Amino acid sequence: MNNNFSVIMSVYAGDKAEYLDAAVKSIHQNTLPPAEIVLVVDGPVGEEIKTAIKKYESQDPDSFRVVWLEKNQGLGNARRVAMDHAGCEYIAVMDADDLCAPERFALQMKYMEKHPETSVLGGNIAEFIGDVDHIVGKRVVPADNESIYTWLKGRCPFNHVSVFFKKSDVLSAGGYLDWHYNEDYYLWIRMAEKGFTFANLPEVLVKVRVGKEMYQRRGGWKYFVSEYKLQKYMLAKKIIHPLRFAWNVLLRFLLQVLFPNKLRGFVFQHFARN
């Protein structure tokens, strides 16, 4: 099993140095560490983050590559820049405040080598608050290609921070494009249009930090408008039919616009998580 894959990450002003340090350590401590980490600094960041980044660069300048952006360009654009600088065909996505499971990359590379037809491979995530062992929920996604295609018509079928994909296949679908809050979902939809093969592993591959602010980010008019436009795109491309479109939009309007944060959090934790 080779380690010819890149891990792409981005940081911005809102990230914490201690979380970034824990995320990078979880990558390096994997049973199959990557050939390189490509980190995009999305606009100005604080001195603590800068110090941590420069430490990683000095320790391993050949395999820890940093791209500095003068202005914040958003997550989708930062991912695209990271992909442009990644030197490997296989790419793993990671967030700057999450933790990889120790065998994440070994499991994913083994699967991709055994199933070369697969373009995108994700897995399940466990969400925690504060202490890493304080698990408050798990997001379990469908495993096989057919189920993923069905799920995609109503919800994003991947946990984005867990994905491991072929760079050439993602680029052939246009790569990451700016789409407010939904760059990843938009990408999977476009890849589905081209008939690429998807899969998810049943294991928890990443532990994700969450909190009350997570539900605030998933609500509000801007978030709803982004989701509404995505549903319109799927309707126009005949991925979903008009009744499914109406149902999807209604649910999102209720959840993202009408529900207060506490109620939205309750729904996510009890109906959208295991």
Residues 82-109: b if buried by 16+ CB within 10 A, e if exposed:
bbeebebebbbbbbbbbbbbeebbbbbb
Q: At what angle do helices 183-193 and 145-152 cross, to 10 degrees?
A: 120
Convert the pLDDT of each residue in 6-50 to its tens digit: 999 999 998 899 999 999 999 999 999 999 999 999 999 999 999
Across the range 51-56, mean pLDDT stands at 91
122 lies in the same domain as 190? yes
Q: Are residues 104 and 197 in the same domain?
A: yes
Whether residues 265 and 168 share a domain: the answer is no
Structure confidence at residue 64 (pLDDT): 94
Domain identity same for 110 and 239: no
Q: Angle at the Cα of 219 (from 217 to 221), degrees rounded to 5?
A: 115
Residues 142 and 262 placed together within one structural domain of the fold: no
CA 209 to chain centre: 13
Residue finishing a domain among 180, 210, 240: 210
In DSSP terms, 60 is beta-bridged to none
User: Does residue 142 share a domain with residue 97?
Assistant: yes
pLDDT in tens, 177-231: 878 778 999 999 999 999 999 999 999 999 998 865 665 556 677 888 989 999 9
Q: Which of 170, 188, 210 is the last residue of a domain?
A: 210
Whether 149 and 257 map to the same domain: the answer is no
**Is the domain of 205 the same as that of 232?**
no
- pTM summary value: 0.91
In the chain, how many domains are there?
2
Instruction: Look up residue 183 and give its amino acid.
Output: E
Mean pLDDT score of the chain: 90
Q: What residue numbers bound the domain in which 227 lies?
A: 216-271
Q: Locate 110 and state its tokens.
A: 């083994």
Say if residue 11 is in the same domain as residue 66: yes
190 and 255 together in one domain = no
